[in-house]
Chain A
Amino acid sequence: QVQLVQSGAEVKKPGSSVKVSCKTSGGTFSSYTLSWVRQAPGQGLEWVGRIIPILDIPNYAQNFQGRVTITADKSTSTAYMVLSSLRYEDTAVYYCARALEIGSSWFMDYWGQGTLVTVSS
């Protein structure tokens, strides 16, 4: 059974950075693609970016280009997301999720429990 366990809640000041981790178990980490999705209070789901650990290649949503870095540590089966230059509107729950490819499409079948990031002065 695949499990994704995320790090705990964070409170950060505007302009600072936050690092969220996502430790996976079950399955083969190198064969995963891991995505990050966020959800602001009362809002819908927004894709942040993803990484293919076996290739170490990330790609990011346009809204986050230049502010987000996603990495993967194959030795610990853990993915990380760093979001920098934090703004009040970055306050949200951040989820990691395993992404699978089917045909020419991708979807997310296993999700972490979410990490609340609060940006507050």
Chain B
Amino acid sequence: SYVLTQPPSVSVAPGKTARITCEGNNIGGKSVHWYQQKPRQAPVLVIYDGGDRPSGIPERFSGSKYGYTATLTISRVEAGDEADYSCQVWDSPTEHFVFGTGTKVTVL
């Protein structure tokens, strides 16, 4: 089955840039989506189709992809960005949703 690997944790100071990676075989051929989840809350879509933002998501959130790695970048990090972040792709051969292992972002 298809696997997406993320670092368990990323720490960043307020005002700096956080980068969260998501690695998967042939991820370059897939559209990557990203979710933010705060404690005891449902996930929230922050990036879809690699780099598009839903209404209400700040421009500070952006997505990119290079080789086997997709990246969610959070610029000018704020305390309110502290959360878990998960990537997700659609695995066409199996028609399954696949989530990454998740990354906890800590704002120092």
Contacts and interface: CB of A to CB of B under 8 A. Distances in A.
Contacts of A103: 31, 49
Given A103-B31, A103-B49, A109-B54, A46 B43 contact: no
Contact of A107 (B1, B45, B92): B45
Given A47-B99, A50-B97, A59-B95, A107 B88 contact: yes
Contacts of A112: 42
A62 to B, nearest CB: 7
Interface in A6-51: 35, 37, 44-47, 50
B45 A108 contact: yes
Interface residues of B, number: 28
B97 A47 contact: yes
Q: Top 7 nearest A-B pairs by Cβ distance?
A: A105-B31, A44-B102, A107-B33, A47-B97, A111-B42, A45-B99, A105-B90
Interface of B: 1, 30-31, 33, 35, 37, 42-45, 48-49, 54, 84, 86, 88-90, 92, 94-102
